[in-house]
C-alpha cells in the first residue's frame, strides 16, 4: 500500500528559489487535499521534479527543478515544505541505477563524461528525452547495464565507462545501534519498501516526526516490516586508529552525523563522546546513578541508550545537550551540567617551536592552530592585511609563513584563508616554555581609558530593588 | 553566584541561547564586543544563529517590554590564544550605553592586581539557594597572590590565572556565571581583571577561586577588535 509520497524526500520549512528571475515555477494549485495528492500529481509528470506544499493553505506548486539544479537555492520558509523526487536527490543508486537522476558526471577513472546530446568524440544512438533523463553529461543507465550508471567519455580512446556510483545499500553504515542514523535508506533487509514516518498507514505508530524534528529534516525511513530489526544497514566495523578510515571520515561521508571520538579526561564539542568518570556537578553535588529512578525519575535507562555509556553516575551527554550532565542526588535539583570537566584543546599538532614571543621566528610553518592555511602576507584577499612585506620589512613576511610582526605576546600568527577568521595563532609552541619572563614581578603603571564608571552601587544596593 | 547579594553591574551581560535561556555571563568591553569564557560554547566555529546578548536588566527573566532591556544578536565568535579559555563575541550592532549599560575598563597589559584588592563577581548563575535567583547577584572577593593560591592548589595555578581568597562561608561563582567578570575598583575605575571560569567545585569554603587573568590577553583583545 505504498503512498505516492514515498518517492519524495521532504525538507520541512524550506523553499527552493530559482535565482534566474526569467524562470517561473508553475502556478499554485489550491484544489488539493494534502501533500499526498500533490505527490500524486507530480509523480507521473516527467517535468515535475519537486513541489512546494503550503502547510497553511494546503496548496502546492509543482517545480521542474531540485536543489541540485543550477541557479537554485534553498531558503528557510515559514509556510512551505519542499518535497523533491528521491531519484534526483540520492547520491547512490537503487538496484541497477536505471532511475538514477543525480549529477555525477565523471567515470571511475575520473574521465569527464561526454554530453548525451553530443555525438563527439563518441557517436551514439541516444537522444535525450524527459523520459530517459539523459541530461547534460550526467551518468545514467539507459540500457539497464548491471554495472550501473555509465557515460560516454570525452576521451576518444575510451568510448564509455562506468561511473562507479555506490549502491545505497553499500553506501550507508550505522554506529552502534544506529540511533544517530539520518541517511536516506528506505528499504528493509528483505527489500521491502519502508512506510513513511509521517504517514499512519498501513501501520499506525506513535513516532511523530514533529516530535523529533530538527530544523532540516529528511524523510525518516518508515516502519520496518522485517521483524528482524533495523533493516539492511551494516554496522560499521570498529575503528582501529587508521585516521584515513577514522569514524569521523567514514561516518560523515555516509549520511551519518560526525561520530565523536571518545575522550576520558576532557570533553570535545558538546561532550557526547565523553567517557570519563567525573560524577559530580559543577556545584559539587554528587550525581544520581543512571540506573536509578530516585530521587529523580527519568527515561535515560542505560539499556535503552547502549551507545551512550550511561554507567554508574558518571557525567554523560546522551541527548545532545550543551555539555555532559547528570541527574543529581539532590531532590530539589533535577539535573545539572558538569562544566568542571575541562574542554579538550582542539588545536592541531604543533610542527615547530619559537623563542620568546616568536618575533624572530623564521620557519616555514604556514598553518594556524586549527589547521587552516595561512594567507600570503602579500595577498589582499580574503583579508586586507595591515602588515605586509613592505610595511614590516624587518619581520621578513615571506609567502604565507607564520610570523609575529606586531610582537604579539601570544606568538607567531598569520592572516588566514578562512574568510570568517581574519587572523589566528599558528601551529607552533614555545621552545623555552620554562624561561618565560614572569609577569608577577614588576609593578605596572596603571593607565585607564574612559570607562569603568557606574552609578554608585552602594546607594542602589541599599535601596530596595524594583 | 553563591553567597552574593542582589546588585548592579552594568557591564555584566547575559548570554542567551536559541531558546532565550540564560547560559553564561559576559563582560561588555566595547560597544560591540563582549568577553566571555570558552567553556560556554561547544566550539569556536559553531553556528551562532539565535544566540543573543541581553543587557540593561537586573532580572534573569525580564519582561520583553522591560524598559532599558537591550537584546543584541551575536554575530561572530573569536576564540582566544590557546590556553586562554577566553572568547570574544562580536555583536551584530553596538549597544546603547546608559545608566544601566556601561563599558568596563581593560587593564594594562600584564598588569598584576595587588593582593588584598577588593573585587566583585556578578552573575545570574546558580546561587545554591543563598540569594535571589531571579536577579543579578554580586559577591565581594579579595585578590590573593598566585604564590599564596598555589599553596592550596599545589602549584597548578598559572600566571595567566589569578585567585581570590576562600571565605569561611561559601561565596563564589557557579554554573551559569562563567564568562562573567571579576571586576576590581582601581584608581576610581572598575577594571575587568578576571573572567569567571569553572572551578572543580563552586564556592568551596576556605578554598581560593581561580579566574583567567585578563591583563595577559589584553593585547589579543585589542588586536581582535582592531583587525
**For B179, which DSSP code?**
T
H or E segment to which residue B72 belongs: strand B70-79
H or E segment to which residue B224 belongs: helix B218-226
pLDDT at A419: 86
The answer to whether A356 touches A432, Cβ cutoff 8 Å, is yes
Among B6, B81, B191, B192, pick the best mutation site for testing chain A contact (most A Cβ within 10 A): B81
Rounded to a whole number of angstroms, the distance between the first and last alpha carbons of chain A is 64
pLDDT at B194: 97
Mean pLDDT lowest among A55-64, A116-125, A252-261, B37-46: A252-261
Peptide bond into A416 cis (omega under 30): no
pLDDT at A246: 37
With a pLDDT cut of 90, the percent of chain A lying above it is 47
Q: Check residues A216 and A76 and name the one with the higher pLDDT.
A: A76
The answer to whether A336 touches A283, Cβ cutoff 8 Å, is yes
Closest-CA distance of chain B to residue A45, Å: 38
pLDDT at A450: 58
- Of the candidates A397, A399, A395, A429, the residue with the CA atom closest to the CA atom of residue A411: A429
Mean pLDDT of A20-40: 87
Q: What is the pLDDT of residues B45-86, one digit of tens each?
A: 888 888 999 999 999 999 888 889 999 999 999 999 988 999
d(CA A187, CA A170): 12
pLDDT at A243: 36
Among A269, A332, A370, A439, pick the best mutation site for testing chain B contact (most B Cβ within 10 A): A439
pLDDT at A189: 83
Q: Where residue B181 falls among pLDDT bands split at 50, 70, 90?
A: very high
Q: What is the pLDDT of residues B102-126, one digit of tens each?
A: 999 999 888 899 999 999 999 999 8
pLDDT at A346: 76
Is pLDDT above 80 for A215? Answer: no
pLDDT at A218: 37
pLDDT at A257: 47
- For B85: left if phi > 0, alpha if psi spans -120 to 50, otherwise beta; the answer is left
d(CA B33, CA B220): 13
**Average per-residue pLDDT in chain A?**
82
Q: Where residue A168 falls among pLDDT bands split at 50, 70, 90?
A: confident
Mean pLDDT lowest among A105-109, A220-224, B211-215: A220-224
Interface touch B110/A439, C-beta < 8 Å: yes
pLDDT at A244: 35
Interface touch B81/A410, C-beta < 8 Å: yes
d(CA B33, CA B88): 7
Closest-CA distance of chain B to residue A22, Å: 32
Closest-CA distance of chain B to residue A10, Å: 23
Cα-based torsion angle of the residue sequence B210, B212, B215, B221 in order, rounded to the nearest 10 degrees: -170
The answer to whether A113 touches A107, Cβ cutoff 8 Å, is yes
pLDDT at B80: 94
Mean pLDDT of A148-172: 90
Mean pLDDT of A427-434: 78
Residues of A in contact with B43 (CB under 8 A): 269, 346
Show contacts of B68-71: CB within 8 Å, 24+ apart.
B68/B98, B68/B100, B68/B101, B70/B95, B70/B96, B70/B101, B71/B16
Mean pLDDT lowest among A221-235, A433-447, B11-25, B84-98: A221-235
Mean pLDDT of B190-198: 95
10 Å CB burial of residue A311 (0-12, 13-18, 19+) is middle
Q: What is the ipTM of this complex?
A: 0.86
Is pLDDT above 50 for A459? Answer: no
The answer to whether A287 touches A314, Cβ cutoff 8 Å, is yes
pLDDT at A179: 76
Q: Where residue A448 falls among pLDDT bands split at 50, 70, 90?
A: low
Cell of A447: 593607565
CA distances from A121 to A134, A263, B93 (A): 17, 55, 58
Interface touch B8/A461, C-beta < 8 Å: yes
pLDDT at A117: 93
Interface touch A451/B126, C-beta < 8 Å: no
In total, chain B counts a number of residues equal to 227
d(CA B173, CA B198): 8
Mean pLDDT of B159-182: 94
Nearest neighbour of B227 by CB, restricted to A340, A347, A423? A423
pLDDT at B218: 95
pLDDT at A456: 55
pLDDT at A184: 82
Q: Where residue A208 falls among pLDDT bands split at 50, 70, 90?
A: confident
Amino acid at each position: 500500500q505504498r503512498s505516492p509520497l514515498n518517492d519524495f524526500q521532504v525538507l520541512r520549512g524550506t523553499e527552493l528559489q530559482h535565482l534566474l528571475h526569467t524562470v517561473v515555477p508553475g502556478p499554485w494549485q489550491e484544489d488539493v487535499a494534502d501533500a499526498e495528492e500533490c505527490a500524486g500529481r507530480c509523480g507521473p509528470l516527467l517535468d515535475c521534479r519537486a513541489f512546494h506544499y503550503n502547510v497553511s493553505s494546503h496548496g502546492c506548486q509543482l517545480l521542474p527543478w531540485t536543489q541540485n539544479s543550477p541557479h537554485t537555492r534553498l531558503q528557510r520558509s515559514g509556510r512551505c515544505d519542499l518535497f523533491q523526487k528521491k531519484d534526483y536527490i540520492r547520491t547512490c543508486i537503487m538496484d541497477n541505477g536505471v532511475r538514477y537522476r543525480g549529477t555525477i558526471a565523471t567515470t571511475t577513472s575520473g574521465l569527464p563524461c561526454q554530453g548525451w546530446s553530443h555525438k563527439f568524440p563518441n557517436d551514439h544512438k541516444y537522444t535525450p528525452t524527459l523520459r530517459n533523463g539523459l541530461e547534460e553529461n550526467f551518468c545514467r543507465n539507459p540500457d539497464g547495464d548491471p554495472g550501473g550508471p555509465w557515460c560516454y567519455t570525452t576521451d576518444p580512446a575510451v568510448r564509455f565507462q562506468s561511473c562507479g556510483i555506490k549502491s545505497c545499500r553499500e553506501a550507508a553504515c550505522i554506529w552502534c545501534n544506529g540511533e544517530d542514523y539520518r541517511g536516506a535508506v528506505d528499504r528493509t533487509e528483505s527489500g521491502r519498501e519502508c512506510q513513511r514516518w509521517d504517514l499512519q498507514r498501513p501501520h499506525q505508530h506513535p513516532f511523530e516526526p514533529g516530535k523529533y524534528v530538527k530544523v532540516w529534516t529528511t524523510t525518516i525511513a518508515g516502519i520496518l516490516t522485517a521483524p528482524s530489526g533495523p533493516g539492511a544497514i551494516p554496522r560499521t566495523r570498529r575503528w582501529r586508529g587508521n585516521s584515513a578510515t577514522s569514524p569521523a571520515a567514514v561516518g560523515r561521508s555516509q549520511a551519518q552525523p560526525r561520530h565523536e571520538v571518545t575522550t576520558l579526561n576532557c570533553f570535545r564539542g558538546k561532550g557526547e563522546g565523553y567517557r570519563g568518570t567525573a560524577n559530580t556537578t559543577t556545584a559539587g553535588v554528587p550525581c544520581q546513578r543512571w540506573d536509578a529512578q530516585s530521587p529523580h525519575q527519568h527515561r535515560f535507562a542505560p539499556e535503552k541508550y547502549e551507545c551512550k555509556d550511561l554507567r554508574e553516575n558518571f557525567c554523560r551527554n546522551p541527548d545532545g545537550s550543551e555539555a555532559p550532565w547528570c541527574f543529581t542526588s539532590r531532590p530539589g535539583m533535577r539535573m545539572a551540567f558538569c562544566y568542571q570537566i575541562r574542554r579538550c584543546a582542539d588545536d592541531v599538532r604543533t610542527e615547530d617551536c619559537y623563542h620568546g614571543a616568536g618575533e624572530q621566528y623564521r620557519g616555514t610553518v604556514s598553518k594556524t592552530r586549527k589547521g587552516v592555511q595561512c594567507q600570503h602576507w602579500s595577498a589582499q584577499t580574503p583579508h586586507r592585511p595591515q602588515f605586509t612585506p613592505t610595511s614590516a620589512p624587518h619581520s621578513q613576511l615571506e609567502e604565507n609563513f607564520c610570523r609575529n610582526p606586531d610582537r604579539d605576546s601570544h606568538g607567531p600568527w598569520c592572516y588566514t584563508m578562512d574568510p570568517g577568521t581574519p587572523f589566528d595563532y599558528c601551529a607552533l609552541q614555545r621552545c623555552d616554555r620554562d624561561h618565560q619572563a614572569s609577569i608577577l614581578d614588576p609593578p605596572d603603571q596603571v593607565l585607564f581609558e574612559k570607562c569603568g564608571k557606574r552609578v554608585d552601587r552602594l546607594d542602589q544596593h541599599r535601596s530596595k530593588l524594583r | 553566584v553563591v553567597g552574593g547579594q542582589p546588585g548592579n553591574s552594568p557591564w555584566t551581560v547575559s548570554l542567551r541561547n536559541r531558546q532565550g535561556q540564560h547560559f553564561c555571563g559576559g563582560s561588555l568591553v566595547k560597544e560591540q564586543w563582549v568577553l566571555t569564557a570558552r567553556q560556554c560554547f561547544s566550539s569556536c566555529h559553531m553556528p551562532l544563529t539565535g544566540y543573543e546578548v541581553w543587557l540593561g536588566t537586573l532580572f534573569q527573566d525580564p519582561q520583553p517590554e522591560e524598559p532599558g532591556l537591550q537584546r543584541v544578536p551575536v554575530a561572530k565568535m573569536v576564540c582566544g590564544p590557546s590556553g586562554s579559555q577566553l572568547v570574544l563575541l562580536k555583536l551584530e550592532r553596538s549597544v546603547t550605553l546608559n545608566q544601566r549599560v556601561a563599558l568596563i575598563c581593560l587593564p594594562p597589559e600584564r598588569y598584576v592586581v595587588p593582593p588584598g584588592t577588593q573585587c566583585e563577581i556578578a552573575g545570574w548563575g546558580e546561587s545554591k539557594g543563598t540569594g535571589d535567583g531571579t536577579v543579578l547577584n554580586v559577591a565581594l572577593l579579595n585578590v590573593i597572590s598566585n604564590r599564596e593560591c598555589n599553596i592550596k592548589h599545589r602549584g597548578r595555578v598559572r600566571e595567566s590565572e589569578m585567585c581570590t581568597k576562600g571565605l569561611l562561608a561559601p561565596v563564589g561563582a557557579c554554573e551559569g556565571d562563567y564568562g562573567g567578570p571579576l571586576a576590581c575598583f582601581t584608581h576610581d575605575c572598575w577594571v575587568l581583571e578576571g573572567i569567571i571560569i569553572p572551578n572543580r567545585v563552586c564556592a568551596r569554603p576556605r578554598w581560593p577561586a581561580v579566574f583567567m587573568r585578563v591583563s595577559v590577553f589584553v593585547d589579543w583583545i585589542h588586536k581582535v577588535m582592531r583587525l
